[in-house]
Each structure stands twice: as structure tokens, then as C-alpha cells.
């Protein structure tokens, strides 16, 4: 029998559960708003992948940078960004992270260490490598966490980024979020192992169980320790699942319904951690209250965001004259 977790460990588990639930309830609310026509354009949810964002975040410090694909709401919430401004951006409101102009796929807040939200699969990888280059060049102590999907991981620009990062020993953690789903992957090079592509460029690469937040946190801690010690980039291939289709407007199915039911029943990262806490003596009713509070927090955030004004169309001209968004 493993020994009972001490009180610090229990608190860490509670924090992880809370962080994952906040992502899940945010995403569910976003899906609902999308269905009601309150969110336009594309919207990609990461329900099922919560342990990846939360586990990675535990290894980060102020001054670190994050850059992600269009499936980015979870990382933003894990990074402590404001759900009200996030919902506002999704609903095209002036109070959103990019003044309502960016929407789900093009959100960023460099002040919070979040550099987007990128619509083109893989484009964040060379850009993230540039962020890490800047951190090294300026002798800033931070590092960059750059995440991308299994589809994006097959791209040529990703190989170029691995090569440069390894040559220059840049402070970057490459994270393949392998949800075993990528529309169009039948038209990309056939890959037997995605992390082997990083290894081929000299990066240490490890596979991680992305349905276990503690495994992700441990792998991230280890990797980040080496990166901060100046040993250069590391690649983690984090195996996960997304429960919903690719995008709400173009819902393919990543899995059959039977597979999905099995994953949700046996491997769900939120439910598994909840069960672990209960097995360690946590009060199940208290955890239900926590969940209810988080649902209420997200409902209130969405309500507040939806009441905010739309952006002033004249701001488009100002942005054009300024050569880009002004915030």
C-alpha cells in the first residue's frame, strides 16, 4: 500500500482539481454560448486535455512565456488569466483580451506571458523558438513553453525550429499535445513516433501520460529544471484525448462513441484526481460544492462578458493607421 499523502500533497491535488475544473466548466460554457449563437467564427475546445495545461503550468514562474495553438483557452485559464476577459473576447466584446477583434483563435496577452492563440497549425513553433531566442539573447531568466498538436508536429517548420533550438541551446520546452486527432493528417508525412522527430535533432524527448495531471507536472518539473540549468530544449510528447470534435463549427469525431465512453469512464483526468482525493479521505460533498462554485463562477463571468459593449468600428481605422492592434 502506498503511504497516505501528507497535507501538502493533498493541497496540491486540491489545487490541481480546482484548476482543471475551471478549464472544463469554462469550455462547457463556451460550447453552450456557441450553440446559442453568442460566439462567432471558430472555437476549439480542449475538454479532456485539462491535465496538460494544468500540469505544465505548475513548472512555470513569472517571466516565462507560453505560446499555443488555437486550442488555447485551457492554457490561458491555467496561467491565471481572467475568464471574464476571455469570454468577452470569444463574444467579440471591447473588454476582451484583444478588444474583441481576435476571437477564440487569436488571443494574446504578453503582459500575462501568453503569446497566443495561433490559427495556423504549427506557426507558433518557430515563433515560440523566437521568443526563447529573445529570452536567451536578453539574458532574461525565463523560458518558453510552446505547445502544438500531433498534426502540427509533422510539419517542416517544426523540424526547423527543433534544429535551431538545439543548435543554440535555447530555453524552450516543446510540447506535443498528442490527442491522436488531426483533421487532414492523412495528407501529412507518415510518422511512427512524433517525439522521435525531436530526438533526431538532438533534443531529449519523453512520452507522458496526459490524462494524469501529476505525471504531467512531474515531467514538466524535470524538463524545466534542465532547461533553466542551460542544457537546452526538451520535448515532451503528452498523450491525451479531446472529447469534442475538432471545432464547434466543424465537428469531426476524434473517437467513436464507444471509445469516448470508455476514456471518459476510465481515464478522465478530472474524475481520476477527484477519486484519488476521496480515497485519501477528502469529503465528496465538499468537492461537489467546489464544482458548483466553479460552475457559478463561469456562468457569472460569461454573463458579465456578454453585457460588455461591442468594439467601436472606428477603432479598425485606428488599428490600421497604427499598423496593428493597439492593445
The Cα–Cα gap between 2 and 25 comes to 32
Closer CB to ligand TPP, residue 157 or residue 272?
A: 157
What 3-state class would DSSP assign to 143? coil
* Cβ atoms of 71 and 89 closer than 8 Å: no
The H-assigned helical ranges of 234-283 are 257-267, 269-279
The Cα–Cα gap between 223 and 226 comes to 5
Site residues for Mg ion, 116-175, by CB under 5 A, read 149-150
What the block records as the C-alpha cell of 104 is: 477564440
Of 61-69, 179-187, 258-266, 293-301: span binding Mg ion (CB under 5 A):
179-187
In whole angstroms, the minimum distance from the beta carbon of 49 to ligand TPP comes to 8
Closer CB to ligand TPP, residue 128 or residue 149?
A: 149
What residue ranges in 103-233 does DSSP mark as E strands? 144-149, 172-178, 205-209
**Any contact of residue 106 with ligand TPP (CB under 6 A)?**
no
Which one among 102, 151, 232, 269 touches ligand TPP, defined by CB under 6 A? 151
The Cα–Cα gap between 161 and 127 comes to 9
Strands 205-209 and 234-239: parallel
In whole angstroms, the minimum distance from the beta carbon of 197 to ligand TPP comes to 13
Residue 57 binding: pick among Mg ion, ligand TPP, none (C-beta 5-8 Å cut-off by kind)? none
Residue 140 φ then ψ, to 5°: -75, 150
Strand partners, 208: 238
The CA dihedral of 113, 117, 122, 125, to the nearest 10 degrees, is -10
**Any contact of residue 176 with Mg ion (CB under 5 A)?**
no
**Any contact of residue 121 with ligand TPP (CB under 6 A)?**
yes
In whole angstroms, the minimum distance from the beta carbon of 180 to ligand TPP comes to 8
Closer CB to Mg ion, residue 45 or residue 227?
A: 45
* Cβ atoms of 174 and 203 closer than 8 Å: yes
Of 13-21, 182-190, 258-266, 299-307: span binding Mg ion (CB under 5 A):
182-190
**Any contact of residue 43 with ligand TPP (CB under 6 A)?**
no
In whole angstroms, the minimum distance from the beta carbon of 199 to ligand TPP comes to 19
Of 10-18, 50-58, 180-188, 285-293: span binding Mg ion (CB under 5 A):
180-188
Which of 177, 229, 183 shows the shortest CA–CA distance to 67? 177
Closer CB to Mg ion, residue 58 or residue 147?
A: 147
By rule CB under 6 A, what string of x and - marks binding of each residue 193-212 to ligand TPP? --------------------
Residues binding Mg ion: number (CB under 5 A): 5
* Cβ atoms of 301 and 87 closer than 8 Å: yes
**Any contact of residue 69 with ligand TPP (CB under 6 A)?**
yes
The Cα–Cα gap between 159 and 155 comes to 7
Site residues for ligand TPP, 233-252, by CB under 6 A, read 246
| Footprint of Mg ion (CB under 5 A) | 149-150, 179, 181-182
| Footprint of ligand TPP (CB under 6 A) | 69, 71, 119-121, 148-152, 179, 181-184, 246
Amino acid at each position: 500500500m502506498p503511504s497516505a499523502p501528507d497535507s501538502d500533497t493533498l493541497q496540491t491535488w486540491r489545487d490541481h482539481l480546482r484548476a482543471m475544473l475551471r478549464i472544463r466548466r469554462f469550455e462547457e460554457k463556451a460550447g453552450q454560448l456557441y450553440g446559442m449563437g453568442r460566439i462567432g467564427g471558430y472555437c476549439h475546445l480542449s475538454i479532456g486535455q485539462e491535465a496538460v495545461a494544468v500540469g505544465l503550468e505548475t513548472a512555470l514562474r513569472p517571466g516565462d512565456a507560453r505560446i499555443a495553438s488555437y486550442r488555447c483557452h485551457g492554457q490561458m485559464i491555467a496561467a491565471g488569466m481572467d475568464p471574464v476577459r476571455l469570454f468577452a473576447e470569444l463574444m467579440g466584446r471591447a473588454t476582451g483580451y484583444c478588444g474583441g477583434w481576435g476571437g477564440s483563435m487569436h488571443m494574446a496577452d504578453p503582459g500575462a506571458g501568453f503569446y497566443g492563440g495561433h490559427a495556423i497549425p504549427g506557426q507558433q513553433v518557430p515563433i515560440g523558438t523566437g521568443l526563447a531566442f529573445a529570452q536567451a539573447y536578453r539574458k532574461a531568466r525565463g523560458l518558453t513553453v510552446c505547445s502544438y498538436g500531433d498534426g502540427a508536429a509533422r510539419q517542416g517548420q517544426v523540424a526547423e525550429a527543433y534544429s535551431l533550438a538545439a543548435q543554440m541551446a535555447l530555453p524552450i520546452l516543446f510540447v506535443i499535445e498528442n490527442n491522436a486527432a488531426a483533421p487532414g493528417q492523412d495528407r501529412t508525412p507518415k510518422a511512427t513516433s512524433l517525439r522521435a522527430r525531436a530526438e533526431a535533432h538532438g533534443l531529449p524527448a519523453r512520452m507522458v501520460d496526459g490524462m494524469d495531471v501529476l505525471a504531467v507536472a512531474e515531467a514538466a518539473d524535470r524538463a524545466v529544471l534542465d532547461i533553466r540549468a542551460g542544457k537546452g530544449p526538451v520535448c515532451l510528447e503528452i498523450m491525451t484525448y479531446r472529447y469534442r470534435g475538432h471545432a464547434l463549427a466543424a465537428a469531426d469525431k476524434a473517437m467513436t462513441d464507444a471509445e469516448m465512453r470508455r476514456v471518459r469512464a476510465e481515464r478522465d483526468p478530472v474524475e481520476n484526481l477527484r477519486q484519488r482525493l476521496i480515497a485519501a479521505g477528502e469529503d465528496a460533498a465538499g468537492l461537489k460544492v467546489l464544482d458548483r462554485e466553479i460552475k457559478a463562477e463561469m456562468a457569472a463571468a460569461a454573463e458579465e462578458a456578454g453585457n460588455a459593449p461591442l468594439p467601436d468600428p472606428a477603432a479598425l481605422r485606428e488599428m490600421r493607421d497604427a499598423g496593428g492592434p493597439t492593445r
